[in-house]
Structures are given as structure tokens and as C-alpha cells.
Amino acid sequence: MKHPYLKKAYDTLLLRTPHEPEFHQAVYEVLESLEHVVDDYPYVIKENIIERLLEPERVITFRVSWTNDQGDVEVNRGYRVQFNSAIGTFKGGLRFHPSVNLSILKFLAFEQTFKNALTTLPMGGAKGGSDFNPKGRSDQEIMRFCQAFMSELYHHIGEDIDVPAGDIGVGRREIGYLYGYYKKLKNQVSSVLTGKGTSYGGSYVRKEATGYGLVYFTNEALKTVYATDFKDKKVIISGSGNVAIYAAEKVIDLGGLVIGMSDSEGIIHDATGIDIKIIKEIKEVKRENIKTYLDTYPNATYQKNPKKLWEIICDVALPCATQNELDDKDVKHLIKNNVLMVSEGANMPLTKEAIDLLLENNILFGPAKAANAGGVLVSGLEISQNNQFYNYSYEKVDTILKDIMNKMFHDIYETARRYNEPNNLLCGANILSFKKIAKAMHEQGVT
């Protein structure tokens, strides 16, 4: 990082937050791109926009005490990071996972701020969650935990303040429990949570949105840069949650062949094309290890090491599992195998070294803040539908999702070209979103 103002802001951040590596990584990735524009707008330095942008507006931590099925009291820690509301209401998911800590949530909330700006909807960035692990818990335990979590969180959210959604470990079941208790505590029906069931205000396509949006964005990139699309392309997808499953479903719908998928235990490789219906049954119904895919398709292969996924020869790679799952060693396999594009379905699944290696080798890279924005985009549409007392059809939501993801790609693509970074979608996304956020912060004064 060469610009003295950006370097000073980053160095100050390191001193203030010495134990938050994920947050530092996300910030550095953005600031590196902003060297192109920081001098174009005098107010950025004069009003210290960058340092203000790097400090969350509000960080809330709280105790979550609840009772398990054995009658024992357990204690977890809850969080909500309300990062930036310059362009609208705080918006971002809740994550229930043992790895949750302040560094991860600050990086997610920071990224969410830029991602939401790219959707063109009036939403600021936030993220929250708990170190609670829903795996292996009964429905009753999950309900009691969600109610205990909401009994504190409800003080800090509202449809005109902060609208959470789901994330890892928080699906429709958890959102239902959280929403039901919020409604009881506030005696109010509202759009305060998104990802709800369609029977009580949820939007069609919400479950599929991140995965579908990822594929729409990637498909538009393939068409624009390589004059091709997903038809007959071999695709590998890490993870087997909502994002991965519905990305695979849409790839297959567009004529592609998903030949590799993974979970936290290992990978499956099926050269004839993975049957996504079986993956859905394994992961959404039975909640079993992906290895059981071989019970139905014995000719497929299984390897216990999830990293082996990146060694499979493919045209497109879609990492959809978790942060920093793909490093420079993994990317070397993809480059050797002539991958056309890597698009992030998870949040920051590539390390900085992995991203740099892709860009150095002119491999098209779809950054998460753009490529996986479909989920929050449809969440925004859910708020809109709630406020209108109306439900859009499945087809209408899917069409809006596709249109906005395609437009987002072209806006980012053209921004990168304008700043002499052709095909650098990361740079284009960072510049485009920053300009919108910085302008809003400038026009609202020092707050």
C-alpha cells in the first residue's frame, strides 16, 4: 500500500485491533484498490472518511444464558456489529457457529457494507451471531437458545434500525424462532427479520438467492470476457450448504456439469455429473456426511481431505464453504488445470495470496462482495414486499435477481476498465461501492 493516507489509516487500525486478522485482511483488500481514487475526491482525506469507515458505528456483545434438554444452564456469547448505515438501515446476517468471534464478525460486517452498496438498495452493513453450535442440538434446544438470544438482541434492532437475516447455522428454522420471539417481545408484526417462511412474510427465492445470484454473476462474466457460458462447463463447488446446493442447481439448469462438491469432512468427485437431488436429500433432509452420496452412485469417488477438491480439472471453481478455505497452493492447481474463473460464494474464501496469484495469471476472479450479493439482494426485496403487504411471484423475484446481478457485473467491469484495471473485478467492486458510501458519508456531515 503506497498512498500515505491509506497506509496511515491501516496502520492505525492494526494498533487499535491487534488480534483481529480476518478484519485486517478484509480491510487491506479494499484499501489496496482505493489507491486509484483516494485523491480524486478531496473530502475523503479532509473529512477522514477512511478512518471513519474502518470504525464500526456500534459493537454490541451480550451474554446468552439458556437451558439444554438435560436441564443444565449453558452460556454463550452473542454479538451484533452495526458497521455503517450511511446508505441505509443496517442489514446483514446472523451466524451461529463455534468459530464466531469479533474479528470474523467485523470482517463480515465491513464486507457487507460494500456488498449492500453494490446491490443499489438502501441498506447499510451489519453482522452478528453467537459461538453457539446448532449441530446435534434438538429443535427444542435451538428454540430456547434463539429465544434467549433474541431477548437481548431485540433492544438493538428494528425495521428502521437494523434488519438481520440468516447466515451459517441460521436457516429458516432459526429465523422462525427468532422472529416469533421478537414479535412476542415487541407485540409487533414487522419486517425486522428476513429469510422468513413464505407463510408469514418471507420472499420466494430467498433460500436459493445467494447460490443462484453467484451463478448469474459468473455466467455474465463468462459471456462478456470469454464469449462463452456455463453450457458444457465442468464446475467444482466447495461446501454443501444452501449456497453450494443452489449454485449447483443453477449451474446444472444452465447446462453445466458439477463434477465435485465437498463438506467439512471430504469431497466427492463424479465425472458424469453430480445428482443434486441426492445432495439435497443428504444435506437438507438426512443431515448426513457427503460420503453417503456413494451409496446411490458407487462409481463416484470420495476423498477425506476437502483440499483435494481444488485438484480436480475444471473450467469454473465456486468456493462456497467458509473464509480462507482456498490458499495459493490450491490456486496453483486450478491455474495448472486451466480454470477460466473462480467466483466466491462464501465470504472471503480466498486468501490474499490466492487472489493475487489469480490476478497475476489473468484468471477471472469474482469477489464475494459482488458474486454472493444475491442473498442480501432478495432480503431487501423481502423488506419491500412486507412494506407493500404483497408477495412477488417466484418468477418475478428470480428475474429481478438475475437482472440486478447482471447489471452489477457490468457496472463493476466498466469501473475496472475506467481505472485501467481491465478484468480486475475486485478492484472494480471496491471502487464502485466505496464511491457510493463515501459520497453518502460526506453529504451527511461528520457523524
- Residues 362, 218 share a domain: yes
What CATH number does residue 429 fall under?
1.10.285.10
**What domain count does the chain have?**
3
Cβ(122)–Cβ(92) under 8 Å? Answer: no
Q: Where are the beta strands (DSSP E) in 272-325?
A: 301-303, 316-319
Q: Which 3 state secondary structure label does DSSP give 292?
A: helix
**Domain-located, residue 371:** no
Does the annotation count 127 as an active-site position?
A: yes
Q: How far apart are CA 48 and CA 194, in angstroms?
A: 34
pLDDT at residue number 369: 97
pLDDT at 7 over 90: yes
Cβ(88)–Cβ(343) under 8 Å? Answer: no
- Residues 298, 158 share a domain: no
Show which of 191, 218, 242 is a domain's final residue.
191
What percent of the chain lies above the pLDDT cut of 90? 98
pLDDT at 244 over 90: yes
What percent of the chain lies above the pLDDT cut of 70? 100
pLDDT at 287 over 90: no
Once rounded to an integer, what is the mean pLDDT over residues 242-264?
Answer: 97
**For residue 1, what pLDDT band results from cuts at 50, 70 and 90?**
confident
- Residues 137, 72 share a domain: yes
Q: Calculate the average pLDDT of the chain.
A: 97
**Domain-located, residue 400:** no
Q: Which 3 state secondary structure label does DSSP give 317?
A: strand
**For residue 66, what pLDDT band results from cuts at 50, 70 and 90?**
very high
pLDDT at residue number 399: 98
- Residues 238, 173 share a domain: no
What CATH number does residue 275 fall under?
3.40.50.720
Bridge-based pairing state of the strands 89-96 and 162-166: parallel
Cβ(85)–Cβ(122) under 8 Å? Answer: no
Cβ(113)–Cβ(125) under 8 Å? Answer: yes
* Nearest CA-CA partner of 174 in 113, 242, 239, 116: 242
Range of the domain at 71: 56-191
**Domain-located, residue 374:** no
**Domain-located, residue 89:** yes
Residue 436 DSSP one-character state: H
> Cβ–Cβ contacts within 10 Å for residue 287, how many?
9
- Residues 60, 50 share a domain: no
What is the DSSP track for 56-74?
A: -SEEEEEEEEEE-TTS-EE
Q: Which three cell numbers stand for residue 313?
A: 480439472
- Residues 310, 186 share a domain: no
- Residues 83, 33 share a domain: no
Counting other chains too, the contacts that 419-424 makes at CB distance below 8 Å and 24 or more residues apart are: 419/36, 419/37, 421/36, 423/225, 423/362, 423/364, 424/359, 424/365
Q: At residue 319, what are phi and psi to the nearest 5 degrees?
A: -75, 120
pLDDT tens digits for 128-169? 999 999 999 999 999 999 999 999 999 999 999 999 999 999
- Please report how many Cα atoms fall inside a 13 Å half-sphere around the Cα of residue 1, on the Cβ side: 19
- Residues 243, 156 share a domain: no
Q: How far apart are CA 185 and CA 248, in angstroms?
A: 39
**Domain-located, residue 196:** no
- Residues 356, 241 share a domain: yes
Q: Which three cell numbers stand for residue 348?
A: 472471503
**Domain-located, residue 101:** yes
Give the type of residue at 111: E
- Residues 345, 245 share a domain: yes
Q: Of 115, 127, 233, 369, which one is the catalytic site residue?
A: 127
- Residues 109, 179 share a domain: yes
pLDDT tens digits for 320-341? 999 999 999 999 999 999 999 9
Q: How far apart are CA 228 and CA 254, in angstroms?
A: 12
Q: Which 3 state secondary structure label does DSSP give 423?
A: coil
- Tell me the chain's radius of gyration from C-alpha atoms: 21
- Residues 275, 360 share a domain: yes
- Read off the pTM: 0.95
Cβ(116)–Cβ(88) under 8 Å? Answer: yes
